[in-house]
Amino acid sequence: MPYLNITEVDSAVTSLATAYPATSALIDLPEPSVEGRICHALRIGSAPAGTKDCAVLIGGVHAREWGSCEILVHFAADLLEAYATGTGLGYGGTRFTSDQVRTIVDELELVVFPLVNPDGRRYSQTVEPMWRKNRNPANSGGDPARIGVDINRNYDFLFDFTQAFAPSAPVQVSADPASEVYQGPSPFSEPETRNVRRLLDSHPRTRWFVDVHSYSDDMLTNWGDDENQSQDEDQNFLNSVFDHRRGLGNGTYGEYFPKDDANDAVDLAQQFCEAVRGVAGRTYTPKSAFHLYPTCGTSDDYAYARHFADTTHTRGAILGFTVEWGDRAGGFHPSWREMERNILDVDAGLVQFCLTAI
């Protein structure tokens, strides 16, 4: 089986909603992509919508990371089929019973959005395999090399990076449209990021958020702008006193992560990695996103930052995670045989993540 094209990804999502109407429903995202494509997510759960805590899982954000869509399509299909047939799930040496499957579908609401960036994926699969961004030409000045925005730098978290970070911080973001990590002209300038925000807004019981990327065999937790600390509440991304000091990881700044949330995040990440290891022995590393490299404007940090920035104090905390599946040897487009192994690894980790979250 080859990688899915964008029509096949969308067809898989819609077909699952049709095949399992008692436990799933199609979600129409409100904003078409820049090239006019309508996007869909899939709600999974046996309880009425909005009555259970929710986990939102997205993929297909960076166009060249082809396997992220397949991971989430298989994850959704596995859960729905196993629940319907009353069977368990097996991923190599990691096994889940039918009761565990039933617990996930009965006690959680899952929102699975496998293809956030359809325009970019199509361009990557048909024209330029290493394309990363979306296909928005608005800031290109007519230069094809300057088309597109890195969707995972376009969220509203420390968007003004020149103000927020130390001048020497190696933060992976740029205001140059020619850059692969171009953040765009403003937070949520892109329809793709606005669609993700809409999912979070329309599912107020969301407590966990997972963005599936490649590659580095990691399970990343908040935060991405600097090292975490749980002692000083005033040391946080909203406090301008710490502008020009973030991103160095040398003890001059630490992003506040309440201890209970930090402990929960570490536990979820570790349980994910243990399930991956059980499949066929592959080792994933749980760590904060900063220890991959410093970032801002990312989906996972935006998801968690929402409740800190909420002046109405009505939003609950959403722990944010980023899966980085695969390794340098396989690159962004591993052979399909290797991709099948990645799917087993990550889907085992995601099932265990859901069980741990409940």
* Mean pLDDT score, 291-320: 96
Q: Which of 70, 74, 43 is nearest to 56 (CA)?
A: 43
CA distances from 193 to 39, 134, 147, 216 (A): 12, 11, 17, 24
In a domain, 50, yes or no: yes
Query: Residue 206 domain-assigned?
Result: yes
DSSP codes of every residue in 314-327: -PPP-EEEEEEES-
Give a yes or no: residue 172 inside a domain: yes
Least confident of 260-269, 297-306, 312-321: 312-321
Does residue 335 fall inside a structural domain? yes
pLDDT category at 1 given cuts 50, 70, 90 is low
Dihedral sign (CA 234, 313, 289, 151): negative
Q: What is the mean pLDDT of residues 329-343?
A: 95
- pLDDT band, residue 328 (cuts 50/70/90): confident
**Residue 133 — φ and ψ, nearest 5°?**
-90, -175
Of 63, 60, 58, nearest to 113 by C-alpha is 58
Q: Do residues 267 and 332 lie in contact, with contact meaning Cβ atoms separated by under 8 Å?
A: no
Q: What is the largest CA-CA distance in the chain?
A: 57
Interval 8-38: pLDDT, tens: 999 999 999 999 999 999 999 999 999 999 9
Percent of the chain's residues with pLDDT above 70: 100
Sign of the alpha-carbon torsion through 250, 255, 260, 263: negative
Smallest Cα–Cα separation from 248: which of 279, 281, 225?
Answer: 225
Average pLDDT across the chain, whole number: 97
pTM of the complete model beyond 0.95: yes
Structure tokens at 231: 């002692």
Count of the separate structural domains present in the chain: 1
Query: Whole domain around residue 96: which residue ranges?
Result: 6-357
Query: Region 189-216: what's the mean pLDDT?
Result: 98
Task: Please choose, from the candidates 161, 156, 197, the residue with its C-alpha nearest in 3D space to the C-alpha of residue 179.
Answer: 161
Residue 248 CB neighbour total at 10 angstroms: 17
In a domain, 53, yes or no: yes
Q: What is the pLDDT of residue 165?
A: 98
**Is the CA virtual torsion 307, 325, 178, 115 positive or negative?**
negative
State the CATH number of the domain containing residue 172: 3.40.630.10
Q: Tens digit of pLDDT for each residue in 135-145?
A: 999 999 999 99
Element (H, E) at 304: helix 299-309
Mean pLDDT, to the nearest integer, of 199-203? 98
**Is residue 106 scored above 90 in pLDDT?**
yes
Q: Report if residue 1 sits inside a domain.
A: no
User: How confident is the model at residue 235, as a pLDDT?
Assistant: 97
- Is the confidence at residue 255, as pLDDT, over 80? yes
Give buried/exposed letters for 125-152 (b at 16+ CB in 10 A, else e).
Answer: beeeeebbbbbbeebeeeeeeebbbbbb
Looking at residue 321, its pLDDT comes to 98
- Asked if residue 271 is part of any domain, the answer here is yes
